[in-house]
C-alpha cells in the first residue's frame, strides 16, 4: 500500500451511501466519556454519536488497511478514501454519511477530537459546496467554497484527519488533548460499548 497520504478517513465531513458512480451535491465542547443509561451512552452523548465514535475507533485501529489521497484545490479539497476490506469500506461510508447529514443540519456532535477547523465547517456549512461519489472500495469527496477562510478550514481539517489516520491512536490522543476533548483512551469508552466483532456497517 502506497504511503503517499494514504490514510484513514477519520473525520471527513461529507458523504453519501449511494451506489458506485452516484454523485450528490450538498450545501460544543465535548462532554466527558463514560457510561450512562436512558438512551445515552458514553456519558453525555446520544446513541448516534456513540455509534459514530465506535466507527471512528474501528477505522483508527485499522488505519493501515485504509488508503486516503488528499488533494488541495485552489478553492477547496478533494479526498479519496478506500479499503480493500469490504467491512472497512462500509465503515468509511457509514461515517461519512452520518457526518454529512450532521453538517447539513448544523448538528455538531462535539466529538472529543474536534478541532477549530471542523467547528468552522459546521458554522460555515452554507458556504460549502460538497460533491460525493461512492466507489467500489470507498468514497470520493470534493468540497469547495468561494470564501478563503472556509477554504482554509476545509484544507486544515483534511490535514488533521490525514495526521490522525497516518499515526493512528497516538494522533487521536494528541488531538483530544490539544482540543480539550479529554481522554477517551485506552479502550475508547470500553470500545464504545463494544460493537460486536462480526457487526457490519450498512452497505
Who wins on pLDDT, 64 or 24? 64
Q: Give me the helix-helix angle, 116-123 and 148-167, nearest 10°.
A: 140
* Beta strands across the sheet bearing 23-26: 23-26, 129-134, 138-144, 76-83, 66-73
C-beta separation of 86 from 135 below 8 A:
no
pLDDT of residue 45: 58
| Burial class of 143 by CB neighbour count within 10 A (0 to 12, 13 to 18, 19+) | buried
Distances (CA, A) of 186 to 55, 107, 129, 192: 16, 27, 37, 11
Who wins on pLDDT, 64 or 20? 64
Residue 29 has pLDDT above 50, yes or no: no
pLDDT of residue 4: 38
pLDDT in tens, 146-162: 999 999 999 999 998 88
pLDDT in tens, 69-83: 999 999 999 999 999
pLDDT in tens, 90-120: 999 888 888 888 999 999 888 777 889 999 9
Who wins on pLDDT, 125 or 48? 125
pLDDT of residue 143: 97
Amino acid at each position: 500500500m502506497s504511503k503517499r497520504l494514504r490514510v484513514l478517513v477519520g473525520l471527513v465531513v461529507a458523504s453519501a451511501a449511494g451506489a458506485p458512480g452516484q454523485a450528490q451535491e450538498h450545501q460544543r465542547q465535548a462532554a466527558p466519556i463514560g457510561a450512562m443509561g436512558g438512551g445515552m451512552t458514553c456519558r453525555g452523548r446520544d446513541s448516534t454519536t456513540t455509534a459514530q465514535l465506535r466507527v471512528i475507533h474501528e477505522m483508527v485501529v485499522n488505519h493501515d488497511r485504509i488508503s486516503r489521497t488528499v488533494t488541495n484545490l485552489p478553492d477547496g479539497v478533494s479526498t479519496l478514501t478506500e479499503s480493500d476490506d469490504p467491512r472497512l469500506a462500509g465503515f468509511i461510508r457509514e461515517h461519512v454519511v452520518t457526518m454529512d447529514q450532521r453538517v447539513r443540519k448544523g448538528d455538531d456532535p462535539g466529538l472529543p477530537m474536534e478541532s477549530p477547523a471542523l467547528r468552522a465547517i459546521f458554522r460555515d456549512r452554507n458556504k460549502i459546496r460538497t460533491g460525493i461519489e461512492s466507489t467500489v472500495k470507498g468514497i470520493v469527496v470534493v468540497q469547495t467554497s468561494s470564501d478563503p477562510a472556509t477554504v482554509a478550514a476545509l484544507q486544515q481539517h483534511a490535514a488533521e484527519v490525514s495526521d490522525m489516520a497516518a499515526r493512528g491512536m497516538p494522533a487521536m490522543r494528541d488531538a483530544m488533548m490539544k482540543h480539550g476533548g479529554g481522554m477517551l483512551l485506552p479502550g475508547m469508552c470500553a470500545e464504545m460499548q463494544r460493537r460486536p466483532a462480526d457487526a457490519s456497517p450498512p452497505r
